[in-house]
Structure 1
Amino acid sequence: MPNRHSHTLRRGRYSEAGRLYLLTTVTHQRISLFHDFQHARLVIDQLRRCEREQLCRSLAWVVMPDHVHWLIELKKEPLGGLMRRLKARSSMALHKAGLPSQRVWQAGYHDRALRREDDVVRVARYIVANPVRAGLVKSTREYPHWDAVWL
């Protein structure tokens, strides 16, 4: 059942170019769509496309079976627009690749603005260690769907 109050999460949300954000979005009904290697790579292609289009600078990301964590420096696009592009484009790519016509993403996303004083490298390490904490692999090196500018 959809959350009746999910729209209230957007109230007061403010995007600031140049600010660092940790973004998290989950699949619809937390279905593990990205256990499939090709499905995960299609999402990764869209993360990279957002960076190529200079909408953001990707600092770290991980595509988990049912969610994505993405640490970015926001450029010219507001957060809402960036996430709409990512979700719409990745959904279209997945459907074009043969995923049945179904919702891919849960509505909304979680964002956390980071201060420059925050330990950004620590946050990046937390992101890329997600597959280890989830018990998917014993070492980050074993997991194929992550990247970070420092690691």
Structure 2
Amino acid sequence: MNSPRLRIGRVSMPNHAYELTMVCEHRRAWFDDPANARVVTALFPLLDAQGLSHSLAWVVMPDHVHWLFQLGNRPLSYVAQRFKSRSALMLNRLHLRNGRVWQTGYYDHCLRSETALRRHAFYVMENPVPGGLADRIGQYPYAWCRWPLEDDPR
């Protein structure tokens, strides 16, 4: 979705937790291919090491990514742009192609409480289950969470 309405009210607050959802162009299932999923999963620790983020949970679904992280000192838009541009570059190189990988824009949600943080972490980790990619939380290979999530916090 390329809508300026996505930016209304968007603020970047360093050290606050955010959940980002980024969707592949035309909902193409890029990450059905394990090699492509591994390219993206390798970016989370890289961005963490650069001080742009501190990952708390993520899942790489076939056609989109959910990422829960604590923002570093750069704006949220910068972190999202770095993630999307770096992953697109790497995927295009891997497949000897040029072209878009991601839809323009992203969805974000600032998490303002520990309860909200746990609820969103559970949502991120549970995402593969209704999609039929896993039978239970923790079974999907392209998902990671900082905490064990046994109980549904909703």
TM-score by structure 2 length? Answer: 0.90
Root-mean-square deviation over aligned CA pairs: 1.5
- Aligned residue pairs: how many? 148
Partner residue of 1:62?
A: 59
8 A contact 2:55–2:68 mirrored in 1: yes
Which residue among 104, 108, 115 is the counterpart of 2:101? 104
Task: Name the SS for the 2:128 alignment partner.
Answer: helix
1:46 counterpart letter in structure 2: L
- 1:22 matched to 2:15: no
Q: Which runs of 4+ in 1 moved over 4 A?
A: none
Pairing of 1:70-85 with structure 2 (within 5 A): 70-85=67-82
For structure 1, list consecutive stretches of 5 or more residues without a partner in the other structure. Answer: none
Pairing of 1:1-150 with structure 2 (within 5 A): 3=2, 6-98=3-95, 100-150=97-147
Q: What percent identity do the matched residue pairs reach?
A: 42
Work out the CA distance in 2 between the residues paired with 1:117 and 1:149: 14
Deviations 1:20-44 (A, max 9, x none): 1111010001100000001011011
Task: Name the SS for the 1:127 alignment partner.
Answer: helix
Change (3 A) 1:92 1:11: same
Work out the CA distance in 1 between the residues paired with 2:23 and 2:117: 22
1:99 to partner: Cα distance: 5.4
For structure 2, list consecutive stretches of 5 or more residues without a partner in the other structure. Answer: 149-154
